[in-house]
Structure 1
Amino acid sequence: MTTPPTATDWLRLDQQICFSLNAASRAFGSVYRVILKDLGITYPQYLVLLVLWEHGDLPVKKLGEHLRLDSGTLSPLLKRLEAAGLVRRERSARDERSVEVRLTEQGVALRERAVQVPRRIVSATSFDVDEIRELRARLDQLTSALDAAVHAELPDED
């Protein structure tokens, strides 16, 4: 049985889960930067493309929901993808207030070259596929718990 951390231990940087997650995220960013360089895209652009490859055309709002990004963050990202010829943004014919994001032929074609990305990421982690799945499941549980904690703190809207 391990002993609980002391009051001083709780405030050590190496005891902070947020720091460990942030450090892992930054390390992933570095690996993705190297791997995605060949595709000519950044990690955030890759995430947008993953959602579009999986779901097809989407309104900007729905795309943001999938990525947990607000429109202020997503708009410049989409602008750069559009300038690169990978996506098109068009006003929805059904709802003029909504903007749809569509892959271009070039964006669709990039998917074939991107197939190797996840394999290279798994290789870089030195984890096997089952370990990756377990870690992702635990991180999803953590995200859900943290989301619930935030929502529990929000006042009711009347």
Structure 2
Amino acid sequence: NNSTRRDSDTVFEAEDRPLSDEEIYEGTRISEIKVRRGMPYRSEWFKTFLAAISFFLATNLNHLALAVVMDITSRNPLSDISHSMFKQTMLTRKMTDSATLFGSLATFFFILFFHKHRSIVIRRVFTIGTILFIMRAITISVTHIPPSYEDSEK
């Protein structure tokens, strides 16, 4: 019966058996590597740290672009139907800012505490956020922005 066995059968049996702490994969103990279907997912916290630093720098670049461009208001505000229909209120602005902050923090901490591959997900979120903030800073720098809210300093 052993003559009918293929090498692929042996591979699947090897993946299904429990791994001991003494087994080594590329110099790292298997217990330190998260294994899923035979593919190791290492928690590379250094790359995650670099992604967080790049996100922080992109955020500062975005704020710098906003600070420079907000001083340049050479025309009247762009005409917009919704601005003519609704008055500006600070309540709605604070509500949307608070909802965005709460939702972002809740999602971040949920992933941080409960996701199996948290370092990979957090690294990807930071990387996507970095790309978005850099593109936003470029767009803000080359686009004319109408005057902001009446009390934008608050």
Identify whether the pair has TM-score above 0.5, normalized to the shorter chain.
no
Which bin holds the TM-score, normalised by the shorter protein? under 0.3
**Bigger RCO (CA 8 Å, 6+ sep):** 2
Which structure has more helix as a fraction of its residues? 1
TM-score with structure 1 setting the length: 0.26
TM-score by length of 2: 0.26
